[in-house]
Structure 1
């Protein structure tokens, strides 16, 4: 069992909502969590912009990262950063005009799968050179059916509303699949008619898709863990970690790391939004949890069906959580 976790996310601007879409987060934040002491520690942060960001109010957040041996691949909204571990020496920065509102990066062999969420695409890069190998639309359409290939979307604050809002890439039957927040499902990128209906008629957004003991586990933003049979593509179980609790976290559930039967689940601090329909689950039996509304990491034992611990982040260290990884250093 790992004793530390690495958590990627961002910190809200005090006036982010007033500034508008694509300007909510003023600082990208990478923190470690010591599971024994409960202490959070800032590892890396980024608040400046640059050539790959809008000139004013760049949206700065570290989204769902991945580990590849002693390499950390860490995305921002418009870049994929490569770091050497454990000293976090930056080795590369890959960025392309078709990157916008990146939500995750994943390594598959010699390729990187980058979810360019703002353009509803998954961009495959050569892991060594960073060159684009192919772009796949997450609705099975031409990647440029509603966007201009000559526009640098890194310099655009927002492209909302998104048609599919892809979040997280995983492999099933040796093919790439991606979760789609808008459709609340997961689809095969080679054939989007192959899909897993994750939420049924619940109208709840989905994010992570991870393997666990030969099954697929998906997160819903209301905190439920959805377990699917990969052979049939059908949901077999819905787990509510707080089913036996009067108090449950208020937050946007996103970010999951699984260590045997321990599930470490992220809850982002809620922010103001114009997309009120995405938050309607908050009226369904939720109560304020703990001492505040900071982001949380919940340790849930899937075997015993019990919440073993709740870790609350310090004020201002990390508001949005995108990804959780083991931290061995």
Structure 2
């Protein structure tokens, strides 16, 4: 059976606000066949690119291409050579805040979902800004200041759009807009993919389809030719016992029917009162952070593997060990 890289983060030992939640980025390689895992990378961002107090440090959604992994932290872009996981490039500019996804472009640049500033940035491998798009179509700097170092700003919430994934259809660049529950074309005006119903993540192109996740455990498949939804799948109905699945984000397409999806929960923290009473903080009663493989056509959960025992408490993206292209 195939092995998979999971990109995410380790939670701190207390419950914090979401922009203070995680203490390091993690990449693990899992083998679902025997439920084993090995830790490939642990990463902590340097202080000069983080807020001064209680920063959150995690890896976010990455892209594997040509034996390299392109991945973001909250305020950096890192490029690793594979399979050794050696850092070959590290970039950070003052406008980076709450990065959610990185992918290389055909032109040799990087496309970055800079979520905290509601924009997508095209950046050269030398750290020069090539293009900036506000995903709502506004001037990128109407709300924000070019003189502020946003790497030092703990959060810019509430966001107006919260773009969290970048993908391409042909030569056109698209971004998911979590709060609008859609995806928008950045290179051609007035082109959108309307998903609706619930907050979205991902936007993975596979053949003639685009696969999106929704945070409450749904997968939505869009026809790339007419940009219309052709299938919606409720993973809650395919999973037993009927316990809340967790935050659904990260999807690996095996074939048109079979997918691996990531689920994240806030790790529960046990509190014992002076009188001996026990209470919980976090998502007690929600299934653990894990990956799960579904046959969408048959409506069936095939297997799952929890990763909390390997110190991973958040999942952003899932990649095949032998994945190579875009």
TM-score (norm 2): 0.88
Q: Which residue of 2 aligns with 1:240?
A: 234
Q: How does 1:149-168 map to 2 (within 5 A)?
A: 149-168=146-165
Q: How does 1:115-154 map to 2 (within 5 A)?
A: 115-126=113-124, 128-154=125-151
The runs of 5 or more residues in structure 2 that have no matched partner are: 269-283
Q: Which residue of 2 aligns with 1:12?
A: 11
- Alpha-carbon separation, structure 2, partners of 1:246 and 1:315: 21
Residue 22 of structure 1 aligns to a residue in which SS?
Answer: helix
The answer to whether the 8 A contact 1:228-1:236 is kept is: yes
The answer to whether the 8 A contact 2:112-2:120 is kept is: yes
Q: Which residue of 2 aligns with 1:266?
A: 262
One of 241, 251, 255 as aligned partner of 2:250 = 255
- Alpha-carbon separation, structure 2, partners of 1:262 and 1:108: 27
Q: Which residue of 2 aligns with 1:277?
A: none
One of 69, 73, 76 as aligned partner of 1:72 = 69
Q: Which moved more, 1:222-231 or 1:88-97?
A: 222-231
Q: Which moved more, 1:319-328 or 1:227-236?
A: 227-236
The one-character-per-residue Cα deviations of 1:261-320 (angstroms, maximum 9, x if unpaired) are 431100011379xxxxxxxxxxxxxx95xxx63201011123433211011113361111
Following TM superposition, by how much is the alpha carbon of 1:71 offset from its aligned partner in structure 2, in angstroms? 1.1
- Alpha-carbon separation, structure 1, partners of 2:170 and 2:45: 41
The runs of 5 or more residues in structure 1 that have no matched partner are: 273-286
Q: Which residue of 1 aligns with 2:199?
A: 205
Q: Which residue of 1 aligns with 2:177?
A: 180
Residue 315 of structure 1 aligns to a residue in which SS?
Answer: helix
Q: Which residue of 2 aligns with 1:57?
A: 54
- Alpha-carbon separation, structure 1, partners of 2:68 and 2:218: 31
Following TM superposition, by how much is the alpha carbon of 1:246 offset from its aligned partner in structure 2, in angstroms? 4.5
The answer to whether the 8 A contact 1:115-1:168 is kept is: yes
Q: Which residue of 2 aligns with 1:279?
A: none
Alpha-carbon RMSD: 2.1
TM-score (norm 1): 0.87
1:97 aligns with 2:94: yes
Q: Which residue of 1 aligns with 2:281?
A: none
The answer to whether the 8 A contact 1:270-1:293 is kept is: no
The structure 1 segments of at least 4 consecutive aligned residues displaced by more than 4 Å after TM superposition are none
Following TM superposition, by how much is the alpha carbon of 1:247 offset from its aligned partner in structure 2, in angstroms? 2.2
